[in-house]
């Protein structure tokens, strides 16, 4: 049921995605997303599954040469309207800002991307095929360097530990008694990091302390030529 609703929000209800994400996070969704910005480096940045384009707009406005990949035509329309309305604060980057494609088939040459960003990824992040594709496009280390391109993933899990959401979450429900959310989240993080390692990326998990939440981030880097 939850998954069905998410899919509606990526498609015919895309116009309501920003409002829903604002509500479930009590206004913090964008702040959580922005945690990825610290890890963005290099000349070629790709945001995968950009949704309604908030981060894409922000990256573009900062003059980052960014290309966004998204499959849903409805999300493309919402993002394009938003970007048109706000307009970029800098000249448009050399790469197209929005490209309709599947993450499992990225339209980039092998070893050509410095940073891949995924915030609040959909099920694709738990698929081996995705990680093989992400590893393929990341740049290998330059001569004399230990680390090449990197993928930063935010929002595989969020642990709200303060504020009203925390108290709401403490209300026991049958579902939580069966399987605590925290345990489920740790399982997904570990699974993603294993898949990245199978794709020969080196991974680490960093936990950021936000205002009311702990935000684990998965960093996967290409260290092999
Ligand atoms: C949960 S939303 C996250 C949107 C945004 N990154 C955010 O932080 O709110 C996931 C997005 O990934 C897109 N998506 C899901 N599977 C995809 C795929 N295989 N290829 C490209 N985009 C995909 C969905 O259409 C949706 O917009």
Domain residues of the chain, as ranges?
2-222
For residue 171, the model assigns a pLDDT of 44
pLDDT band of residue 3 (cuts 50, 70, 90) is: confident
Among the residue ranges 145-149, 164-168, 183-187, 199-203, the one predicted with the least confidence is: 164-168
* Statement: residue 130 has pLDDT above 90: yes
2-222: CATH, from 3.30.70.2740, 3.40.640.10, 1.10.3210.10, 3.40.50.150: 3.40.50.150
CA of 142 to the centre of ligand 1 (A): 31
Among the residue ranges 143-152, 155-164, 212-221, the one predicted with the least confidence is: 155-164
Predicted confidence (pLDDT) per residue in 65-117, tens digit? 999 999 999 999 999 999 999 877 666 667 899 999 999 999 999 999 999 99
CA of 192 to the centre of ligand 1 (A): 16
pLDDT band of residue 47 (cuts 50, 70, 90) is: very high
> What's the whole-number average pLDDT of the chain?
89
* Statement: residue 175 has pLDDT above 50: no
**CB of 57 closer than 6 angstroms to any ligand 1 atom:** no
Residues 6+ apart with CB under 8 A from 192: 125, 126, 131, 153, 156, 218
**CB of 124 closer than 6 angstroms to any ligand 1 atom:** yes
Q: Which structure tokens are listed for 92?
A: 């448009």
Q: Say how many Å lie between the first and final Cα of the chain, rounded.
A: 43
Q: Phi-psi region for residue 208, left (φ > 0), alpha (ψ -120 to 50) or beta? A: beta
For residue 33, the model assigns a pLDDT of 96
CA of 98 to the centre of ligand 1 (A): 13
Residue 109: Cβ-neighbour burial (10 angstroms; 0-12, 13-18, 19+): exposed
Average pLDDT of the residues in 188-203: 95
CA of 120 to the centre of ligand 1 (A): 8
* Statement: residue 172 has pLDDT above 80: no
Among the residue ranges 27-31, 144-148, 184-188, the one predicted with the least confidence is: 184-188
Average pLDDT of the residues in 142-147: 96
Share of the chain above pLDDT 90, in %: 70
Average pLDDT of the residues in 118-141: 97
pTM, 2 dp: 0.91
């Amino acid at each position: 049921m939850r998954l069905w609703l998410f899919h509606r929000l990526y498609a015919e209800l895309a116009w309501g995605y920003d409002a829903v994400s604002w509500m479930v996070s009590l206004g913090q969704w964008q702040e959580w997303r922005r945690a990825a910005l610290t890890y963005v480096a290099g000349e070629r940045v790709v945001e995968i599954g950009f949704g309604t384009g908030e981060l894409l707009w922000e990256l573009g406005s900062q003059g980052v040469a960014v290309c966004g990949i998204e499959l849903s035509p409805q999300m493309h329309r919402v993002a394009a309207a938003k970007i048109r309305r706000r307009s970029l604060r800098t000249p448009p980057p050399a790469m197209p800002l929005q490209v309709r494609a599947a993450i499992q088939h990225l339209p980039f040459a092998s070893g050509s991307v410095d940073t891949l960003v995924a915030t609040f990824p959909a099920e694709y992040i738990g698929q081996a095929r995705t990680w093989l594709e992400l590893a393929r496009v990341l740049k290998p280390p330059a001569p004399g360097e230990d680390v090449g391109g990197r993928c930063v993933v935010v929002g595989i899990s969020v642990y709200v530990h303060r504020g009203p959401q925390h108290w709401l979450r403490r209300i026991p429900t049958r579902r939580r008694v069966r399987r605590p959310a925290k345990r489920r989240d740790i399982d997904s993080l570990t699974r993603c990091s294993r898949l990245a390692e199978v794709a020969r990326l080196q991974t680490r998990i960093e936990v950021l302390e936000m205002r009311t939440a702990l935000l684990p981030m998965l960093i996967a880097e290409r260290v092999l030529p």
